[in-house]
Structure 1
Amino acid sequence: MSAVVYAAALVFGLSCVVLLRRPGTAVRTPPVLSACAAILLGSLVLVCAAPLTLATVNDLTGVPNFGAPLTYGMLSAYSCSLVVLLVVWRGGPRARVRRLVRATIVAYALLVAALVVLFVLADARTERLTDLDTYYARTPYLREMILLYLAGHTAATVSMCVMCLKWGREVTGVLRTGLRLILVGCLLDTIGFQAAKYTAVAARIAGHDLDFLSTYVAPPMASLGALTCSAGFVLPRLLPTAVAHWRGLGDYRRLAPLWALLRFVPTAPKPAASWWRSPRERLQWREVSIHDALLALAPYFDDRVRVAALDAALRAGHGAHQARLAAEAAMLTDAARRAANREAPLDRPSGYRLRATEVSGTGGLVELAQAMSRPPPAPAGTTVR
């Protein structure tokens, strides 16, 4: 069980790395900083709750079950961080936000102090690593400690569920998806972990035995809920970047035919060979190189080639836009051939501007590159050099 809990804690904690890709910016962004604090505290809760950790803490302190108030206190801190995150998300006047944050921290600090006092007053001499909640459910002071930490955590997760439901109606796209994942994670925690704990403890107090809910159902549900929440925290920040890189990689590959034609132009800068460059950086290098090459080839543009190719494309049934791209591809191919053969520029080069140089973004270059792989049909009885 400890290995599974540690793995969940590691994955949960790693999601913080995604949010802190730019630590300087994240520190100045309260929502990101609050989310990171919640993730780190949630990871520590999972680590502290592992039976191996509990046994180690008990051995080091020499106090049986000392790991219990440590875990419950850490869980209360995690609950506090969730409430603080809600306050920051809601926003409002800075003074009001600070006041609510301080009030939340004070309230949960008092809760943690109460947990410690109740543990000190209780008689918990028998070490229990996996079933302490149910084993001591009828023990004075420990019973109150168990119910108190559960109540504090329930208040935080229910508030988070309400906030996600309310905010989810007001936003769209990937942010809404992230909120839904956080909602699912909090529901798994509330229903799978807390409800199981409440039921098992109540059964023990009433003289019945439903310990399996607390021992075998609650821990994996808590881990699953934490992982789902981490996905909700990370997705709105990670997905747009991942999609942008994926699109950049696609455009980079679609520009390959055009780059293959122009890469030998002497004035075209060659991208630095760096395997760690992101797809967007590689695309930017290729864009700059292609534009510089097109500028260098402008003295070789021959309107006769372009007009002949345009006429052939129109006769072949292409639309005006596709015919223009086919004509530009033919003229560019001819210009690249002349430059590669070290021919002299035309005495009267064309003043024509390629569409790819008139539109912003990569779309124009991609269309031209695709036209390169579809050479236009030659006009009947005409030979295009």
Structure 2
Amino acid sequence: MSLVVYAAAVLLVVAAMMIRRSRTTPRTPLTVPTRATAFLGAVCFICAAPATLAAVNSATGIPNFGAPLTYSVISAFSCSLIILLIYWRGGPSDRIRRMVRISVAVYGALIVAIIVLFFLADADTERLRDLDTYYANTPYMREMIALYLLGHLASTIVLSIVCLKWIRGEVTGLLRVGLRLILAGLLLDVLGFELTKVTAVVARWYGYDVDFLSTTVAPPAASLGALIYSAGFVLPRLVSAASEKQSLANYRALMPLWAALKDVTATPRTEQRSRLWRQLPSSRLYLLEAQIHDALLDLTAHFDQGVGEAARSAALEAGKSREQARIAAEKAMVIDAILRASGRTTGAADPPDEFRLTVDLVELALAVSPVQDLTPDQVRAH
């Protein structure tokens, strides 16, 4: 059984490493809770393995000390799941902090109670696989076991209720898939772990022996359930991180274009730049794209359709497709308009009656950079 739980722990560690924040991606409120949850889940499996329990008991010299350690980590993991969901749902920062503090206080008290009850109990016989049922009728140990099971059950109930309410709302895409994975994992956890553990313990209270439910059925069910709902939390986070990284790359790619436009147009610039840099890359990219579009609209008076037509004809003669020729014409007119607005190209412009820019902004930025150093001859070469 140790190999099974160790394998589950390794998978969770891998998941935590996959969501590691890169140097180019800013820290988001979900980064720390997601990684903490994955690592705590891995620690749960490591601590619950019989080989780990034996090592902890031997190192401390206290029989069964691995039990309260494992139960405490399980309680911390349950708390981290609730905190992760709090951050995932979002909302006012004051409300988020208040709910996080309440969760930490409740589960912190639970962990203290578990440790105190263990030291009050008489549990000198080491049990590595059936401690829950073996000590089910032992004073203080009985209460300790019941507390950790109730704490874990409470977290699964809270998570299930919130996820059900949320999934019935306007949730789509990978977020909906993540919620379904969480619900599936929680269902397996409740039925395969909680129900079997509680049944085995309560059976002992009434003099029956169904210990196999606790020792054989519960561990693999808990491992599989944790992996499933952890995947539900991690999947949207991975996609979100990849999306933010791409947004940051696009933001940086557009900066040369914005640098060329901002000094030759009357487009207002975003104020409070320090606040802008604290936003997520997707928000910064949205604002920058809006400014660039406004600047391009302001620049249309300087467009010269003759320049565009010349660039289009040159592209067609070079064997380019009509689509590629159209894009080349748009790029040439934008570059010429920037130079014309800055006074580096003389002559009156001949703007088209109707014009809609369709070229991709990142592609346009690559053509414009470094526009400050372009000459009219270079414009025509584009």
TM-score by length of 2: 0.64
Which residue pairs with 1:356 in the alignment?
Answer: 324
1:39 Cα offset (Å):
1.2
Which residue pairs with 1:183 in the alignment?
Answer: 183
- For the Cα contact (< 8 Å) 1:18–1:234, is it kept in 2? no
Q: 1:22-171 maps to which residues of 2 (within 5 A)?
A: 22=22, 25=25, 28-169=27-168, 170-171=170-171
Cα deviation 1:171-226 (Å, max 9, x = unaligned): 01111011101111111111110111000000011100110000000000010011
Cα deviation 1:122-146 (Å, max 9, x = unaligned): 0101000000000000101000000
Mapped partners of 1:24, 1:68: distance in 2: 42
Shift in alpha-carbon separation, 1:23–1:44, aligned structure 2, 3 A: farther
Question: What is the DSSP-based 3-state SS (H/G/I as helix, E as strand, rest coil) of the residue aligned with 2:218?
Answer: helix
Structure 2 residue runs of 5 or longer lacking an equivalent are: 244-309, 328-358, 361-382
Shift in alpha-carbon separation, 1:357–1:57, aligned structure 2, 3 A: farther
Q: Which has the larger radius of gyration?
A: 1
1:239 Cα offset (Å):
5.7
Mapped partners of 2:114, 2:160: distance in 1: 25
Query: For residue 212 of structure 2, what is the amino acid of its counterpart?
Result: F
Query: For residue 146 of structure 1, what is the amino acid of its counterpart?
Result: I
Query: For residue 150 of structure 2, what is the amino acid of its counterpart?
Result: A
Shift in alpha-carbon separation, 1:25–1:152, aligned structure 2, 3 A: farther
- For the Cα contact (< 8 Å) 1:188–1:221, is it kept in 2? yes
Q: Sequence identity, in percent?
A: 56
Shift in alpha-carbon separation, 1:207–1:24, aligned structure 2, 3 A: farther
1:56 Cα offset (Å):
0.2
Shift in alpha-carbon separation, 1:300–1:198, aligned structure 2, 3 A: closer
Mapped partners of 2:199, 2:23: distance in 1: 42
Moved more, 7-16 or 209-218: 7-16
1:87 Cα offset (Å):
2.1
Mapped partners of 1:124, 1:23: distance in 2: 49
Moved more, 123-132 or 227-236: 227-236
Mapped partners of 2:315, 2:187: distance in 1: 67
Shift in alpha-carbon separation, 1:50–1:34, aligned structure 2, 3 A: same
Moved more, 127-136 or 88-97: 88-97
Which residue pairs with 1:380 in the alignment?
Answer: none
- For the Cα contact (< 8 Å) 2:5–2:46, is it kept in 1? yes
- For the Cα contact (< 8 Å) 2:34–2:234, is it kept in 1? no
RMSD, matched Cα: 2.7
- For the Cα contact (< 8 Å) 2:316–2:325, is it kept in 1? no
1:103 Cα offset (Å):
1.6
Which residue pairs with 1:16 in the alignment?
Answer: 16
Shift in alpha-carbon separation, 1:240–1:41, aligned structure 2, 3 A: closer
Which residue pairs with 1:214 in the alignment?
Answer: 214
Mapped partners of 2:140, 2:230: distance in 1: 34
Shift in alpha-carbon separation, 1:147–1:91, aligned structure 2, 3 A: same
Q: 1:180-259 maps to which residues of 2 (within 5 A)?
A: 180-238=180-238
Mapped partners of 2:14, 2:115: distance in 1: 30
Shift in alpha-carbon separation, 1:59–1:23, aligned structure 2, 3 A: farther
Query: For residue 101 of structure 1, what is the amino acid of its counterpart?
Result: V
Question: What is the DSSP-based 3-state SS (H/G/I as helix, E as strand, rest coil) of the residue aligned with 1:358?
Answer: helix
- For the Cα contact (< 8 Å) 1:118–1:144, is it kept in 2? yes
Query: For residue 155 of structure 1, what is the amino acid of its counterpart?
Result: A
TM-score by length of 1: 0.63
Mapped partners of 2:148, 2:228: distance in 1: 22
